[in-house]
């Protein structure tokens, strides 16, 4: 089911999400909602559960076809994800469906290994670099109650998404 | 409510923002877009403020008089219309740096204007010591669909060569994650 995307300053976006303790019909349903909502927003490559108002540690990602992509694991949903390792730093400009109109330059690891669980509860490890690594870190931030505005590298590196009105 | 444009420039010191915005809050003004920064040792503020209809530029200027005198600020208040239309375009960043000399901003701005490129943000700084000043200019621009990035890049490159400065142009399209 496509769910409405929650916008700042909704508290669900600034509150650390809770770990999922039981896998089954509820996690499968949440995964479907995340995928449906992500697919419905053609300009976005990922969505975290807090962005649809659910304070649980889960996100969906699909960077397939993105011009900055190197590694690509296709479409997937990860529960209780955590960063195992991160290397390299690069600054890139990010926007977010939950932060209208603004974009900002954010420093991220250029490669990360993230471990989490599939909607069925099976462990899954994602070894990502380039754009997929950036997207993973952006979604992981949502689970910590952070949006990209909490991470911009300098105050003057926040921009209007398009042009000034 | 209607919008006013306010500029205030003066000595950089603690309390300037608090003083100016305090006056606006007392007038029930709501800050819309603002830009405030240190320029050449002065604190420069540009504010678009929505104020109640009965509050005009003269009322704001009058209310600012006390704090402006206390803080050493030059304040101007203008009626402001939002008549400019939003332009669609691709976001690019342009950076220029080199030995300081007159005419750098004008030359590059003219190249961009000649190609219908809209400047959405521009910051210039003189960096390095006084014995060897380096001029740095950072621009965010919006390219209309009718103009190719390579054409603009080539024209900027020609200007850079003529002026003996470095210029680079990079796509600044943000990824919506």
- Predicted TM-score (pTM) of the model is 0.80
Instruction: Say if residue B37 is preceded by a cis peptide, omega within 30 of 0.
Output: no
Chain B 112-171, residues with CB within 8 Å of chain A CB atoms: 118, 120-121, 123, 140, 142
Q: What is the pLDDT of residue B88?
A: 81
Q: For the domain with range B90-171, which CATH number is right: 3.30.70.260, 3.40.50.300, 3.40.1710.10, 3.30.56.10?
A: 3.30.70.260
Residue B134: name the closest of B106, B160, B98 by CA: B98
Element (H, E) at B24: helix B16-26
Number of domains in chain A: 1
Alpha-carbon torsion angle A116, A130, A47, B176, nearest 10: 170
Matching fold, domains B2-79 and B90-171: yes
* Second CATH level (architecture) for the domain B2-79: 2-Layer Sandwich (3.30)
Closest alpha carbon within chain B to A100: B176
> What is the C-alpha separation between A30 and A59, in angstroms, rounded?
9
Two structure tokens written together for A44:
């976005």
Q: Which residues pair with B36 in a beta bridge?
A: B45
Lowest average pLDDT, out of A45-54, B35-44, B84-93, goes to B84-93
Helices in A20-147 by DSSP H: which ranges?
25-40, 130-143
- Do A44 and B120 make contact, defined as CB atoms within 8 angstroms? no
Contacts of B173 in chain A (CB under 8 A): 93
Q: Is the pLDDT of residue B173 over 90?
A: no
> What is the C-alpha separation between B25 and B15, in angstroms, rounded?
15
- Do B175 and A45 make contact, defined as CB atoms within 8 angstroms? yes
Contacts of A165 in chain B (CB under 8 A): 82, 84, 86
Element (H, E) at B100: none
- Indicate the residue of B37, B87, B174 with minimum beta-carbon distance to A93: B174
Annotated catalytic, A75? no
Contacts of A133 in chain B (CB under 8 A): none
Question: What phi-psi label fits residue B52: left (phi over 0), alpha (psi between -120 and 50 degrees) or beta?
Answer: beta
Structural domain spans, chain B: 2-79, 90-171
User: Could you report the predicted ipTM of this complex, rounded to two decimals?
Assistant: 0.78
Q: What is the pLDDT of residue A163?
A: 40
- Considering the domain boundaries, does residue A4 fall inside one? no
Q: Is the pLDDT of residue A162 over 60?
A: no
- The predicted model gives A83-112 an average pLDDT of 92
Residue B41: name the closest of B20, B11, B68 by CA: B11
- Considering the domain boundaries, does residue A1 fall inside one? no
- Considering the domain boundaries, does residue A48 fall inside one? yes
A-B Cβ pairs (cutoff 8 Å, strict): 63
- Residue A56 DSSP code: B
Query: How close does chain A come to B9, measured CA to CA in Å?
Result: 19
Element (H, E) at A119: none
- Residue A31: which domain range? 11-160
C-alpha B42, offset from chain centre? 15
- Considering the domain boundaries, does residue A49 fall inside one? yes
Closest alpha carbon within chain B to A51: B177
- Do B84 and A164 make contact, defined as CB atoms within 8 angstroms? yes
């Amino acid at each position: 089911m496509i769910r409405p995307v929650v916008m700042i300053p909704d508290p669900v976006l600034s509150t650390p999400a809770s770990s999922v303790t039981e896998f089954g019909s509820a996690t499968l349903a949440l995964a479907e909602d995340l995928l449906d909502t992500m697919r419905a927003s053609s300009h976005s490559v990922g969505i975290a559960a807090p962005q649809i108002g659910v304070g649980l540690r889960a996100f969906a990602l699909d960077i397939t076809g993105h011009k900055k992509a190197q590694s690509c694991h296709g479409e997937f949903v990860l529960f209780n994800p955590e960063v195992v390792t991160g290397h390299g730093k690069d600054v890139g400009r990010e926007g977010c469906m939950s932060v209208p109109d603004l974009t900002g330059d954010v420093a991220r690891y250029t490669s990360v290994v993230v471990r989490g669980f599939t909607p069925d509860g099976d462990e899954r490890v994602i070894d990502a670099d380039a754009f997929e690594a950036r997207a993973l870190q952006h979604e992981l931030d949502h689970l910590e109650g952070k949006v990209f505005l909490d991470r911009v590298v300098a105050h003057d590196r926040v921009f209007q998404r398009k042009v000034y009105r | 409510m209607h919008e006013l444009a306010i500029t205030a420039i003066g000595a950089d010191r603690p309390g300037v923002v608090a003083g100016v915005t305090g006056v606006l809050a007392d007038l029930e003004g709501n800050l819309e877009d603002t830009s405030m920064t240190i320029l050449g040792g002065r604190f420069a503020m540009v504010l678009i403020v929505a104020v109640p209809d009965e509050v005009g530029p003269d009322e704001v200027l009058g209310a600012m008089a006390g704090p402006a005198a206390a803080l050493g600020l030059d304040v101007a208040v203008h009626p402001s219309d939002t008549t400019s239309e939003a332009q669609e375009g691709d976001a690019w960043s342009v950076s220029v740096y080199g030995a300081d000399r007159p005419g750098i901003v004008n030359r590059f701005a003219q190249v961009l204007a000649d190609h219908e490129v809209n400047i959405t943000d521009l910051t210039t700084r003189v960096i390095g010591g006084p014995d060897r000043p380096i001029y740095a200019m950072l621009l965010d621009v919006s390219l209309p669909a009718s103009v190719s990035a390579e054409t603009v890049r080539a024209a900027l490159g020609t200007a850079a060569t003529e002026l003996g400065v470095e210029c680079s142009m990079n796509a600044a399209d943000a990824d919506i994650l």
